[in-house]
Amino acid sequence: MPRTSPARKRSFVLGALLALLVAATLPGRANDIGERQLKAEMMVRMLRLVSWTTPAAAGTPLSLTVVGDPGLADALRDASNGQRIDGRGMVVSHVPTLAQLPTPPPDVVVLAATQRASAHALARALDQKSVLTIGEGEGMGRAGLVIGVYVDGDRIRFDANTGAASRAGLSLSSHLLRLARIVG
């Protein structure tokens, strides 16, 4: 019987954890804080299932910037506290609008639902840059972002835009793709 590598086992376990989060229900349309925290936890777990083809400088943290909702930035800070992605810590920042996104861009940009009108502009601005774009709300993957996280009834689901991921030089794990609705 062939042995399974530690990386493959870790990927399987992370995929299983993500599946549990996707299957999690929002009790009676849980309050916004509970939904926001659940989405943030899901996003942090997804980061473990994404690979950047451009290597990061040694010792640099994974930078995440939330555009729009400061509450979502706080939830991501809480969810990422003490977590490491490929040996890198995480730093979460917030900007109110897309125009205030830092240059050079962070490793991950999360577009809050309050900024959904900026989804196409964000996708165009970061196309072919090594940036994971995540949008909060239905249709964000179709708008050109790599991942879209949304509520469907009492569940949190997500889209994956494999074309956008490829253009950004990102590789999405097969575990992530099995759970996603593929939109591009």
> Each residue of 48-61: pLDDT tens digit?
999 998 888 778 99
pTM metric for this prediction? 0.83
> Each residue of 8-46: pLDDT tens digit?
555 544 444 454 444 444 444 344 558 899 999 999 999
d(CA 104, CA 60): 14
pLDDT value at residue 23: 46
d(CA 174, CA 14): 11
- Domains, the chain, in order of start with CATH, read 6-182 (3.40.50.2300)
Q: How far is residue 33 from each of residues 8, 131, 143, 173, measured CA to CA in Å?
A: 34, 27, 26, 29
For 20, phi then psi, to 5°, come to: -65, -40
Among candidates 47, 139, 138, which has minimal Cα distance to 91?
A: 47
The set of long-range contacts for 82-86, using a CB threshold of 8 Å and a minimum separation of 24, is 83/44, 85/47, 85/48
Count Cβ atoms within 10 A of the Cβ of residue 60 and give its class: 0-12 exposed, 13-18 middle, 19 or more buried: exposed
Confidence band, pLDDT 50/70/90 cuts, at residue 4: low
Pick the residue with more confidence: 85 or 10? 85
Q: Evaluate whether 163 touches 144 at the Cβ level (below 8 Å).
A: no
Q: Which amino acid belongs to residue 184?
A: G
